[in-house]
């Protein structure tokens, strides 16, 4: 009898005929995980928005036209009053609403001289009390 060590299993050959191994082993290789990359996406990030805050001492208002988001969405108004005319009179004479005048006041840095009454609200002599 001759014993052969093939693949770690002894095999015995007797009389020229091969005998079946005494035991068998099944080896299962691990399956590698399937990795998929995410699909690229286009992301739109809006530009930053400039927000102008009222300076200290300016009366806060709950009016919709006093909200920074609305003020900043308004187009810039170039104000060119005639001699002796206030910016508020100029805006009123050209048909701008009080809300537009308020936005122009805010966009111009809340100048104190736009509030003739000194109460922190602009253009009241031209448009009347609005708060």
Residue 34 in tokens: 């399937």
Measured CA to CA, the distance from residue 121 to residue 89 in angstroms comes to: 15
Question: What residues does each domain of the chain span?
Answer: 64-127
Measured CA to CA, the distance from residue 103 to residue 72 in angstroms comes to: 8
Looking at every residue in the chain, the average pLDDT score rounds to 76
pTM, rounded to two decimals:
0.51
Q: What is the largest CA-CA distance in the chain?
A: 130
Residues whose CB is less than 8 angstroms from the CB of residue 18 and which lie 6 or more positions away in sequence, other chains included: 11
The pLDDT of residue 49 is 64
Q: What is the pLDDT of residues 108-130, one digit of tens each?
A: 989 988 987 778 789 988 888 77
Q: What is the pLDDT of residues 80-110, one digit of tens each?
A: 888 999 999 999 999 998 889 999 999 998 9
Q: What is the pLDDT of residues 42-63, one digit of tens each?
A: 887 777 765 555 545 445 455 7
Please state, in angstroms and as integers, the Cα–Cα distance from residue 32 to each residue in 27, 29, 37, 93, following that order.
16, 9, 16, 78
- Indicate the pLDDT class of residue 12, thresholds 50, 70 and 90: low
The pLDDT of residue 1 is 44
> Which ranges of 59-123 would DSSP assign to H, the alpha helix?
68-73, 87-93, 98-107
């Amino acid at each position: 009898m001759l014993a052969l060590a093939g693949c770690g299993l002894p095999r015995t050959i007797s009389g020229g005929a091969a005998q079946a191994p005494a035991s068998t082993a099944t080896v299962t290789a691990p399956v590698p995980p399937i990795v998929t990359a995410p699909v690229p996406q286009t992301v739109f990030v809006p530009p930053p928005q400039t927000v102008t805050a009222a300076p200290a001492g300016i009366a806060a208002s709950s009016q919709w036209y006093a909200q920074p988001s609305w003020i900043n969405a308004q187009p810039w108004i170039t104000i060119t009053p005639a001699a002796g005319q206030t910016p508020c009179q100029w805006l009123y004479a050209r048909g701008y609403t009080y809300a537009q005048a308020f936005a122009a006041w805010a966009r111009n840095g809340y100048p104190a001289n736009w509030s003739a009454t000194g109460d922190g609200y602009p253009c009241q002599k031209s448009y009347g009390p609005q708060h």
